[in-house]
């Protein structure tokens, strides 16, 4: 298949959109990327907007009314099948704090569900465990009664339950046993992220020394930046080993502060949604990690626990990119933060870029940066239903 587009955003390097570009695709893989006249008659012509890599979201608790922690196989299939409508083509389902035995059982259940998911949907790249090794001082929406230390036995239980599916663990490095846990998780091929943490900058640096490479939802549920104690935020922004997830809904973090993070840590910001079951749904009552949250009526507002604590988000990845552009981040930087940077962070250089050899996971955004069409492995899995879009993407 050959696709021509008004503008390509490759997510490679610092360049802006490539005008009048094309992609040559075979067997679900990009074989050629170019500008100017295509080598043959295209199979699909995208007359405006932007063609870019599909989004890679490292933190999805649920979506479309489905709480992944409590969902059955049909619920998981709903989320994976409908995420391409937001431009997301691969993601990490995220399980939050629960009693250790229950969390291990939920993780093991996921290992049975994921291989059965339909191919025509977003790729599941693994599972993100956000907890239970978190700080009670920065617990956010997590149940304090279920927080625990990362003992050797607890860590082994989760590694055994998740097998190859366990891809990312968020923990607080100041908890007893956390540094040894980082050693073990890293040795098992699991990415470790600092989050829900009251750690000092020195403690975060020690975690990075042991192999931690990420900070979960920068600015939220962590020791903030102070002029004498940089905290989690200060270390995240200044330590070149750390890439920070950022919930760019403009509620968790204000737009100017998001822009500041991009300037302070260029190439080390990964946009995430932290979406809960309420994402893509009307205001009402939903679940996060099996416990109730309420989605307010205010447009774009995140869900909250009964005490008002923010509890995930209702964000889409295409809106996250649009929000960052509106906040002064360049389109190329925003796209890289939603594609190449998270893909590289979890060791998937075959995703998140328009380059020869990369998977043909693509999203076509309108000029106002909303999703019009999405491909996974070169197969069209979503269009927005308008006559113009359907005609443009027809093979």
- Residues 273 and 206 reside in one and the same domain: yes
Average of per-residue pLDDT across 300-311 = 96
The answer to whether 243 touches 237, Cβ cutoff 8 Å, is: no
pLDDT, tens digit, 9 for 90 and up, residues 288-297: 999 999 999 9
Residue 7 pLDDT greater than 80, yes or no: yes
Reported as a single tens digit per residue, the pLDDT across 228-270 is 999 999 999 999 999 999 999 999 999 999 999 999 999 999 9
Same domain? 8 vs 43: yes
Q: Residue 384 belongs to a domain with what CATH number?
A: 2.30.40.10
Which one is catalytic: 274, 318, 344, 361?
274
Kindly state the average pLDDT of the residues 12-40: 91
358 in the same domain as 338? no
List Cβ neighbours of 233 (8 Å cut-off, separation of 6 or more): 218, 219, 222, 223, 224, 225
Cα–Cα dist 20/183, whole Å: 48
How confident is the model at residue 385, as a pLDDT?
81
Shared-domain flag, residues 83 and 161: yes
pLDDT digits (tens, 9 = 90+) for 34-73: 999 999 999 999 999 999 999 999 999 999 999 999 999 9
**pLDDT reading at 386 higher than 90:** no
Residue 388: pLDDT band with limits 50, 70, 90:
low
Residue ranges of alpha helices (H) inside 83-211 are 100-113, 152-162, 178-187, 201-210
| Same domain for 370 and 297 | no
Domain that holds residue 373: 2-52+354-393
Residue 390 pLDDT exceeds 90: no
Tell me: do 141 and 243 sit in the same domain: yes
241 and 139 in a single domain? The answer is: yes
Residue 368 is among the residues annotated as catalytic for this protein: no
Q: Are residues 316 and 366 in the same domain?
A: no
Can you give the pTM of this predicted structure?
Answer: 0.97
Give the pLDDT of residue 393: 60
Residues 232 and 295 in one domain: yes
Q: Which secondary-structure segment (H or E) carries 82?
A: helix 73-82
Same domain, 144 and 213: yes
Integer Rg of the chain from CA:
20
**Rounded CA gap, 181 and 211, in Å?**
10
Q: What pLDDT sits at residue 12?
A: 83
Between residues 354 and 14, the one the model is more confident about:
354
Let me know whether 150 and 287 are in one domain: yes
In this structure, the answer to whether residues 170 and 27 fall within a common structural domain is no
- Give the pLDDT of residue 394: 55
């Amino acid at each position: 298949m050959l696709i021509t587009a008004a503008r390509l955003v490759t997510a490679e390097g610092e360049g802006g959109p490539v005008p009048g570009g094309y992609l040559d695709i075979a067997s679900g893989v990009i074989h050629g990327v170019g500008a100017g006249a295509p080598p043959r008659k295209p199979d699909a012509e995208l007359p405006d907007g932007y063609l870019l890599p599909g989004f890679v979201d490292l933190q999805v608790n649920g979506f479309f009314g489905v709480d992944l922690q409590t969902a059955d196989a049909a619920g998981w299939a709903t989320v994976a099948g409908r995420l391409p409508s937001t431009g997301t083509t691969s993601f990490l389902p995220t399980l939050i704090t629960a009693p250790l035995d229950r969390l291990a059982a939920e993780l093991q259940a996921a290992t049975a569900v994921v291989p059965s998911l339909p191919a025509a949907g977003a790729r599941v790249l693994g599972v993100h465990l956000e907890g239970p090794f978190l700080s009670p001082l920065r617990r956010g929406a997590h149940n304090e009664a279920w927080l625990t230390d990362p003992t050797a036995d607890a860590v082994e239980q989760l590694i055994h339950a998740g097998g190859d599916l366990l891809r990312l663990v968020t923990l607080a490095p100041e908890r007893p046993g956390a540094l040894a846990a980082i050693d073990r998780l890293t040795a098992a091929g699991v990415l470790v992220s600092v989050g829900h943490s009251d750690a000092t900058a020195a403690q975060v640096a020690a975690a990075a020394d042991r192999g931690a490479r990420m900070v979960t939802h920068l600015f939220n549920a962590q020791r903030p930046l102070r002029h004498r104690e940089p905290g989690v935020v200060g270390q995240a922004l200044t330590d070149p080993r750390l890439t920070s997830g950022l919930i760019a809904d403009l509620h968790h973090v204000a737009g100017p502060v998001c822009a500041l993070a991009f300037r302070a840590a260029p190439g080390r910001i990964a946009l995430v949604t932290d979406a809960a079951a309420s994402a893509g749904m009307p205001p009402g009552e939903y679940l996060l990690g099996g416990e109730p949250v309420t989605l307010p009526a205010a447009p774009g507002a995140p869900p909250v626990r009964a005490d008002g604590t923010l509890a995930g988000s209702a964000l889409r990845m295409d809106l996250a990119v649009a929000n960052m552009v509106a906040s002064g981040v360049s389109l190329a930087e925003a796209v890289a933060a939603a594609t190449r940077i998270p893909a590289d962070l979890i060791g998937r250089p075959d995703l998140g870029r328009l380059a020869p050899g990369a998977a043909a996971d693509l999203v076509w955004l309108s000029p106002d940066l909303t999703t019009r069409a999405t491909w996974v492995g070169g197969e069209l899995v979503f269009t927005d239903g308008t006559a113009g879009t359907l005609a443009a993407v027809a093979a």
